[in-house]
Structure 1
């Protein structure tokens, strides 16, 4: 496994050294925490916002194309129209998303066992990540866990053959991926610093607050947080069946949390006495579960 940091702006050597130092410290902690291996090559690329825009647009277009190609032919024109609209919206807001709002964006690398994270220095300033080394550490740990997930699911390819909408983060994918990464980054930052670190609480710039308040940006925020709800799902599952058994989900779309299981987590967290959800953990713990039974639970 190689962890590399590239400054493609040519102007942020200090940030490159910071990220490199954090990776050296936290990279070895990912597998003991998650029981997942990192890809053979993990890259953190410090890039101009224009690079973030073009590569994220290309990645979105690739996923839409793959989704369209596995759907019945009569649905493809409609999917193409939807994709055009999505890309048009992305291009309209991408400068503000990449340059102000997004802490890090992890995507496939050029090779099968490669994964990469794009970091835009201006966005790290606006989100407050650079205001404290602990925030930078938490963000890097979170993205490193996404790298491990990418390797385990082969960038969702192991799910997509059975459930194509996972390519667009449907079928509980966001709750699993973000919840699992949040669960792991909380454990690792607690061990490192004595308390959980959450970069979402970092001091935001006035520019960040202004962009976040725009209707077009605000509409993108999910009604149910995949970080909070997903973390509860993952924590409950690991408490019940352990990390090894939970990790079967990365190669089996039938095990992804379904709508009822996500709703169970929302209700458990909203109760007068918040508790961990039970439905998904119970299903993962059912060793007699057949593929047919699992299929009926996936929506």
Structure 2
């Protein structure tokens, strides 16, 4: 379930295993989704984390090119490829964990102890538990979209899902679920930001490009989280989102949950 591939952090592997054991059932109960396979967490070095994320993104690019080869999509994918190499080099320190789909088609969560330390999560069990719940929510989502490429394509307009609020849905669902789990588990409001950040973390986060991107990401997660929170009594309807992208909220519906509900309710 938790594999330390650095062979240097057995204690962290044990802590994460215990958190996953507790957070798993809670996250399932909150979301109304079931884990199809035991969750897999991998503890990696920063360089190996970057390599795994690059491989995942290259896999997405290759699929897009295979299914939509016109010049417009090639240019879009190439620009994304160039931009993210530099982004990954700088952003790993601010990304304690990320959940991806590997080349075998299974989801797994990649963790770097160095990023956990810089983010202050090793010193805050509640914040670390909230992080685990968030990544489990991502895993549940990935399991139930069943490899539908429309959720992660770089060219959504070619798949007919340009108006789908994908980032709001994915980040918002994980934010909402992890907040609910934290409230039930720790009887406290989820707040990873309260953890004591390192000086290197604060310097990196304060770079203008990083600051702007993180501000946008927080806004997207907040708006998406509010969407799910406002409809949490309608979990059955919410989980229809994962059966087909067209059942997900559009950019206009993400701030108008009742309009989305009226559109998709049977």
* In structure 1, distance between residues paired with 2:11 and 2:139: 24
Structure 1 residue 179 corresponds to structure 2 residue 172: yes
Is the aligned partner of 1:91 residue 2:88?
no
CA apart distance, 1:53: 0.8
Contact map agreement 2:173 2:225 (CA 8 A) in 1: yes
Relative to the length of structure 2, the TM-score reads 0.88
Match of 1:36 among 29, 33, 36: 33
Query: RCO higher in 1 or 2 (8 Å CA, sep ≥ 6)?
Result: 2
Deviation for aligned residue 1:70: 3.1
**In the comparison of the two structures, how many residue pairs are matched?**
262
Say yes or no: does 1:106 pair with 2:83: no
| Equivalent residue number for residue 82 of structure 1 | 79
8 A Cα contact 1:158 1:251, kept in partner: no
Q: Whole-Å Cα distance in 1 between the matches of residues 119 and 163 of structure 2?
A: 27
Q: Classify 1:70/1:23 alpha carbon distance in 2 versus 1 (closer, same or farther; 3 Å).
A: same
- Worse-superposed segment, 130-139 or 214-223: 214-223
Please report how far the alpha carbon of residue 195 of structure 1 lies from its aligned counterpart in structure 2 after TM superposition: 1.4
Counterpart in the other structure of 1:247: 239
| Mapped contact 1:64–1:83 kept (Cα < 8 A) | no
Question: 2:236 & 2:262 partners in 1: Cα distance?
Answer: 12
With normalisation by structure 1, the TM-score equals: 0.79
Q: Deviations over 1:254-283 (max 9, x none)?
A: 122212223xx3xxxxxxxxxxxxx23332
2:225 to 228, 231, 234: 231
Is the CA contact (8 Å cut-off) linking 2:164 and 2:250 kept in structure 1? yes
Deviation at 1:139, TM superposition (A): 0.2
Native 8 Å contact 2:163 2:250 kept in 1:
no
Q: Quick check: 1:205 aligned with 2:198?
A: yes
Aligned to 2:116: 124
User: Which stretch of the first structure deviates more once superposed, 4-13 or 214-223?
Assistant: 214-223
2:237/2:265 contact within 8 Å kept: no
Taking a change above 3 Å as real, the CA distance of residues 169 and 176 of structure 1, as seen in their structure-2 partners, is farther
Check if 1:147 corresponds to 2:144. Answer: no
Q: Which residue of 1 aligns with 2:259?
A: 282
Contact 2:165 2:251 in 1 (8 A): yes
Task: Give the RMSD, CA atoms, in angstroms.
Answer: 2.5
Q: Is the Cα contact below 8 Å between 1:149 and 1:250 reproduced in 2?
A: yes
Q: For 1:230 and 1:82, how far apart are their aligned partners in 2?
A: 27
For 2:265 and 2:211, how far apart are their aligned partners in 1? 43
Q: Is 1:193 the counterpart of 2:210 in the alignment?
A: no
Residue 62 of structure 1 and its aligned partner are, at CA, apart by 1.7
Structure-1 residue corresponding to 2:14 = 17
Deviations 1:190-227 (A, max 9, x none): 11111122112212111001011123323433536122
User: Any stretches of 5+ residues in structure 1 without a counterpart?
Assistant: 266-278, 290-299
**Contact 2:156 / 2:162 at 8 angstroms: preserved in 1?**
no
Do the aligned residues in 1 keep the contact of 2:253 with 2:260 (CA within 8 Å)?
Answer: no
Task: Name stretches of at least 5 consecutive residues in structure 2 with no aligned partner.
Answer: none
Q: Deviations over 1:220-244 (max 9, x none)?
A: 33536122111111112334xx111
